Amino acid sequence: MTAADRAGVLFFLPHVLGHDARVIPQHLRDPVLTAVAVAQQILIALSGARAYTLPELKAVFDEGYVLYVF
C-alpha cells in the first residue's frame, strides 16, 4: 500500500467499524476509536490543509502522542 492508501484507510476505518464498533470486543472499543481519531487529527495537522495555532498543535501532537505511547 502507498502512504496515501494507508492514510485513506484511517479515514475509512470509522465508517467500517461504525460509531459503536460492535465488531470489536467491548473493552477495546473506546481505545480503538480514540486511537483512530487521534491518528486522523495528526494526519490532518501534518497535511497543512488547515492553519493551527500553537496551543492546538500542542494538543494534537503532545496529548495525541501520549495516547500512543501508553
HEC secondary structure over the chain:
CCHHHHHHHHHHHHHHHCCCCCCCCHHHHHHHHHHHHHHHHHHHHHHCCCCCCHHHHHHHHHHHHHHHHC
pTM: 0.79
Confidence class of residue 2 from pLDDT cuts 50, 70 and 90? very high
pLDDT of residue 11: 94
Give Cα 40 to chain centroid, integer Å: 3
With beta carbons less than 8 A apart as the criterion, state whether 24 and 16 touch. no
Q: What is the pLDDT of residues 5-64, one digit of tens each?
A: 998 999 999 999 988 889 999 999 998 998 899 889 888 898 888 888 999 888 888 887
